[in-house]
Amino acid sequence: MNGSVKFYQTMKFRRYVKNTIILSILILGSLVLLTPLWWMVSTSLKTPAEIAQHPPAFMPESFQFSNYIEAWQTGPFTRWGLNTLFISVIVTIGSVFVNSFIAYGFAKIRFKGRNTLFVIILATMLIPGFVTLVPQYMLFSKLGWVNTYLPLIVPAFLGSAFFIFLLRQFMLTIPKEFSEAAIMDGASHFKIWWHIMLPLTKPALITVGIFAFNGAWNDLLGPLLYLNDENLYTLQLGLQTFKGSVQVQWHYLMSMSVTILLPTVFLFFIFQRFFMNGANISSGTKG
């Protein structure tokens, strides 16, 4: 080592500077992304008078944790929470297993018209939900399913184009040899799917699970259309009680929004590792 090399000329220093810059950009970026979230939390802890204040304060004067309790008590939120949980869990189970089974067919079984059928399935993603809204409602109404959870749950057991696509792409990356070896051993497709594909596609399944849970948990339109009995309502419908035609109860709306957000945030953190893996597949950077 030459004694005349200054600290700022060393690799260590350069790495240090590089890391500092990257870290600052990341921190700054996260702050920008976190601001709305903070705003929500901060509003949820203010009094209505403070929310109406101008200029708005970033920090509440005193933390009104009672908003959370009061908001919860304005309606049967416990009941609505359990309803939402029930629907979300069943939808998640359905989405994970059914879509994976369908995807297995498209990825691993050769049959006539497979690609055409797959394209048709993908094409259903192009139809905006609002176009099918009334016909679908009429169908479920004829079946006598209005005011039950069936219209919210059953479709999850009939496959979703996006999830099928996502899982199929993931399955295509799994070498044929696994399934071929199993076939040699006399395994049925159902067995191959259950014993080989499901364990190997875990990251993708968790991704589908989180998407499905999130979708069902945050769904407003489905419960809105199909449920007529307030006892069957979900949290998203309950949240709307704070929004009137003229006035909005911001403090309650925000505190309840934070509460409703928590389960999905926890879910995300618990499964984050898998989720990131899975999200990569859907954006096509892997496989």
Partner 1 sequence: MKKGFHLGFILLLLCSLVLSACSNNTEAEGKNKDGKVVIDFQTFWGSETRRPVIEKIVDDFNKSQDEIEVKHTFVPWGDIWTKNTAAVAAGNPADVIVNDINTVAHRAENGQSEDLSQYIDEGIKDELYPNLWETVQYKDKFYGVPFTTDTRVLFYNKDAYKEAGLDPEQPPKTWKELEDHAKKLDVKKDGIYERIGFYPTWGSFGAGSWMANADDGKGFFEGNEMYINTPNKVEALKWVAGWHKRLGAKNVQAFQAEFGSGQTNPFISEKVAIWTDIASFYTQIRDTGKDMNFGIAPIPAFKEEGRNWNEGGGFVMEIPKGAKHPKEAATFIEYLASEKAQKYWAQKNYDNVANKKAAESVLKDFTGDEKLVYEQALKNLKDTRFHPAPIDYPDYASRVDPQLEAAITGKSTPEKALQKAENDVKKLKR
Note whether 37 binds partner 1 by CB under 8 A: no
The span from the CA of 203 to the CA of 197, in Å, is: 12
Which residues fall within 8 angstroms of residue 149, CB to CB, at 6 or more apart?
A: 86, 87, 232
Looking at 118, 163, 213, 250, which residue binds partner 1 (CB under 8 A)?
Answer: 250
Size of residue set near partner 1 by CB under 8 A = 50
Part of the chain binding partner 1 (CB under 8 A), chosen from 28-36, 144-152, 166-174, 175-183: 144-152
Among residues 218 and 280, whose Cβ is nearest to partner 1?
218
Segment 258 to 287, residues that bind partner 1, using CB under 8 A: none
Q: Does 145 bind partner 1 (CB under 8 A)?
A: yes
Nearest to 227 by CA among 153, 279, 176: 153
User: Which of 72, 162, 178, 194 touches partner 1 by CB under 8 A?
Assistant: 194
The 3-state DSSP class for residue 46 equals coil
Contact between 246 and partner 1 by CB under 8 A: the answer reads yes
The first and second tokens of residue 29, run together, are 């970026």
Considering only 148, 214, 264, 277, the residue that binds partner 1 (CB under 8 A) is 148
Q: How big is the chain, counted in residues? A: 287
Q: Which residue bears the tokens 């705003």? A: 39
Q: CB nearer to partner 1: give 39 or 63.
A: 39
Residue 217 touching partner 1 (CB under 8 A)? no
Residue 56 is given by DSSP the state: P
Which neighbouring-strand residues pair with 243?
A: 248
Residue 69 DSSP label? H
Which of 12, 14, 114, 243 forms a contact with partner 1 (CB under 8 A)?
Answer: 243
Contacts for 66 with CB less than 8 Å, ≥ 6 apart: none
Q: Which helix (H) or strand (E) holds 14?
A: helix 11-44
Q: Kindly indicate which of the ranges 111-119, 153-161, 201-209, 270-278 contains the residues binding partner 1, using the contact rule CB under 8 A.
A: 153-161
Least Å distance, CB 213 to partner 1, is: 16
8 Å CB contact between 131 and 68: no
Binding residues for partner 1, per CB under 8 A? 43, 48-49, 51-54, 56, 74-75, 90, 93-94, 133-134, 137-138, 141-142, 144-150, 153-154, 157, 194, 220-221, 224-225, 228-230, 237, 240-250, 252
